[in-house]
Amino acid sequence: MKIRRAKMDVSMLTSVILMVGIFVVFLFLTGGNEISKFSLTNIIDSSIIYIIAGLGYLFVIAMGSADLSIGANLGISCIIGTSLATIWGVDWTAIPVTLAAALGIGLINGVLVGRLKVPSFMVTVAWLLGIRGMIIYTQTEVFEELFPTMYYQTAGPLLLLKESFVKYPLFVALIVVVYLVLTHTKFGHYCRSIGENELVARNVGVPIKNVKLWAFGLSGLMAGVAGLFYLARNGGTNNTIGQNLEVDVIACIFAGCILVTGGYSTKLPKLLLGCFTFAILKNGLGLMGYNTAFAKELSQGLVIILIMFAVIKMKDWESKRAVTITREDEVALTDRAIS
């Protein structure tokens, strides 16, 4: 007879404890201002871009890979989309052009990683550095000196993304779609199986090259969607657009206790918890007056280090617990066989 045990998701529990703990700490430090209507709305709104960018990143991290180009991808795709919209004089074209550019960059990453077998870290860091330089040059040299009128201000359909009756339903719909794809389709299963063991996945017939191609494509596409929300919220492009987004998303992933090795521990609820934890942290620091770049970066870095320490300890405890349960099952099976 097979022995069954209810398995507790310790990492999920840890991410919940982290979010609640950080919320309670800032609730005390800010004298209750953390739960004001404005603060809660700000937490949700500031989480949206992280979550949307993270939705695509989930498929990459599930494979045990990395996409450090999402911030630069967001920036350059928005600049391409809004520039062409300005030249053509048709505001709505910024949406499909931005999405197409972001998807294209993601697919190029997929080709380089999946078919040419270049490590994802090297590919996406190269994109990060190269595209970031292109963004700065375009915004500070080309637009300011040659085409000063090409600074794009959010208009037309993009303004709808600022409206609650459009923004929040679309946001929820994206979460639901990604959840279904990740957990209820072969593609999502393949992504996580690659993270568990790529060699085994290849031997059982998983199309590794195509899965990696479309996983990075989805990561790029969702960076483009996040870019549209960025344009709606910030009013246009600038030379820092998308800067450090990849770092913030990775911080959210750590805060959600998602393992960078990927596999079946990669779950959408963990990403949501991590993003809200990170947003609570940033909002709390702002309410306490730590608004300078130095104070915010230092404080966030220290907290992330503490979160990583908690995750590592959680993983060690979970491994020891799994070994203990296995030994107990072996003893129980032996006793059953003897009796």
The 3-class SS string of 227-289 reads HHHHHHHHCECCCCCCCCHHHHHHHHHHHCCCCCCCCCCCCHHHHHHHHHHHHHHHHHHHHCC
Q: What is the mean pLDDT of residues 223-240?
A: 89
Half-sphere exposure of 177 (CA within 13 A, CB side): 11
Please tell me the least confidently modeled range out of 111-120, 195-204, 297-306, 328-337: 328-337
Cβ-Cβ contacts under 8 Å for 48 (sequence gap 6 or more) = 167, 171, 229
**Could you tell me the pLDDT band of residue 199, with boundaries at 50, 70 and 90?**
very high
Q: Is the Cα dihedral 19, 51, 244, 13 positive or negative?
A: positive
Amino acid at 330: E
- The pLDDT value recorded for residue 179 is 96
Q: Which residue has the higher pLDDT, 224 or 247?
A: 224
Q: Which residue has the higher pLDDT, 295 or 84?
A: 84
Please tell me the least confidently modeled range out of 71-80, 183-192, 193-202, 318-327: 318-327
- The pLDDT value recorded for residue 151 is 47
Q: Which residue has the higher pLDDT, 243 or 331?
A: 243
Amino acid at 219: S
Q: Which residue has the higher pLDDT, 57 or 5?
A: 57
**Could you tell me the pLDDT band of residue 175, with boundaries at 50, 70 and 90?**
very high
Q: Which residue has the higher pLDDT, 192 or 282?
A: 192
Q: Which residue has the higher pLDDT, 65 or 251?
A: 65
Contact indicator for 153, 99 with CB cutoff of 8 Å: no
Q: What is the mean pLDDT of residues 56-65?
A: 96
Q: What is the mean pLDDT of residues 103-127?
A: 95
- The pLDDT value recorded for residue 3 is 41
- The pLDDT value recorded for residue 141 is 74
**Could you tell me the pLDDT band of residue 271, with boundaries at 50, 70 and 90?**
very high
Q: b/e string for 192-211 if b means 16 or more Cβ within 10 A?
A: bbbbbebeebeeeebebbeb
| Alpha-carbon gap, residue 23 to 273, rounded angstroms | 12
In this model, does residue 159 exceed pLDDT 90?
no
Contact indicator for 92, 259 with CB cutoff of 8 Å: no
Instruction: Of 187, 223, 232, give the one whose Cα is nearest residue 103.
Output: 223
- The pLDDT value recorded for residue 1 is 39
List residues bridging with 153 in a β-sheet: 236
Please state the pTM of the whole predicted model.
Answer: 0.86
In this model, does residue 2 exceed pLDDT 50?
no
Q: Which residue has the higher pLDDT, 321 or 204?
A: 204
Q: What is the mean pLDDT of residues 199-204?
A: 92
Rounded to 10 deg, the angle between the 208-234 and 94-110 helix axes is 150
Q: Exposed, middle or buried, 313 (CB in 10 Å: 0-12/13-18/19+)? A: exposed
In this model, does residue 180 exceed pLDDT 90?
yes
Q: Which residue has the higher pLDDT, 316 or 195?
A: 195
Please tell me the least confidently modeled range out of 49-58, 132-141, 191-200, 223-232: 132-141
In this model, does residue 145 exceed pLDDT 80?
no
Q: Which residue has the higher pLDDT, 298 or 257?
A: 257
Instruction: Of 183, 196, 191, give the one whose Cα is nearest residue 261.
Output: 196
| Alpha-carbon gap, residue 273 to 207, rounded angstroms | 31
**Could you tell me the pLDDT band of residue 4, with boundaries at 50, 70 and 90?**
very low
Q: What is the mean pLDDT of residues 184-208?
A: 94
Q: What is the mean pLDDT of residues 209-217?
A: 97
Q: Give the chain's mean pLDDT.
A: 83
Half-sphere exposure of 137 (CA within 13 A, CB side): 6
